[in-house]
Chains A and B, each alone.
Chain A
């Protein structure tokens, strides 16, 4: 049985996957300015990965998917979140020291480089959600066969 979709779906997926990726990145990066944020953007980018899996089939996905890399990136996302939360430990856990007296991310509210550690946390959550969802869906797709 063929595992991939037809020619039209595959060609459209080729064109559309980078655009879904950059739109998800836009949602993650502007999490402190516009609706959305780490989870929503990460799930959007994971949608691009799942579109690849569905359109091109499991064999092609196996060639492009690296279990160790995705596992490591998910851990890095969690650690970056924790690291951002620990930055202001001199005052309190989750104290936003980057916003109050940090060297960067303390610009005018409403601009990209504002809101202290929020952009870092959004990026961390986005990375974690993206890698986690793609890993989960790939594992489900790989799950042996229908019987036993």
Chain B
């Protein structure tokens, strides 16, 4: 039921936007209006949110997303930003586009991995090709001998394992 997924996420965003209308909580009118408008939006978007999106209603998955974004992703971004600052100061770069073979199954996993790679500076996803199970990544500083990586480990670290887990 994709309707339920769109409804839940729309209603959560509505509650976040209208928090504080009754003390720190919500007034009855806001709660009812949120039900109506989240229902309308969910009805209008039920066809496009995706048939198998109900797996994202799992609270364990939300916890995993929270752990991923404050843990590995944030730490990777901090490290990579300092690395790029170092590259800017020294000016020693070796740019190029590499083909990274990945072992992922569905669209959500490709999206999570591609966005994680793009968020960490120094690497930028150019295209995701699920039919050849590969990503094309622009890398600002390719280490010697890694022009044709065997897997995504040298490009993105542990992100592929996380993406496989989060999008499953």
Task: Point out residues on A near B: beta carbons under 8 Å.
Answer: 6-8, 10-15, 17-19, 21-23, 25-26, 29-30, 52, 56, 64, 111-113
Contacts and interface: CB of A to CB of B under 8 A. Distances in A.
22 contacts: A7-B107, A7-B130, A8-B110, A8-B115, A10-B107, A11-B110, A13-B48, A17-B49, A18-B9, A18-B49, A21-B41, A21-B45, A22-B37, A25-B37, A26-B14, A29-B33, A29-B37, A56-B48, A64-B47, A111-B27, A112-B29, A112-B33
Contacts of A15: 49
Contacts of B49: 14-15, 17-18
Q: Is the contact region of chain B dominated by helix, strand, or loop, or is it mixed?
A: helix
A6 B115 CA distance: 13
A133 B48 CA distance: 20
Contacts of A12: 111, 115
Given A17-B45, A29-B37, A22 B13 contact: yes
Contact of A112 (B10, B30, B114): B30
A21 B27 CA distance: 22
B45 A8 contact: no
B105 to A, nearest CB: 13
Contacts, number: 76
A26 B163 CA distance: 32
Contacts of B33: 29, 112
B29 A113 contact: yes
A23 B17 contact: yes
B100 interface: no
B29 A22 contact: no
B134 interface: no
A17 B48 contact: yes
A112 B45 contact: no
A18 B128 contact: no
B36 to A, nearest CB: 9
Nearest to B30: A112
A131 to B, nearest CB: 12
A120 B83 CA distance: 54
A8 B37 contact: no
B12 to A, nearest CB: 9
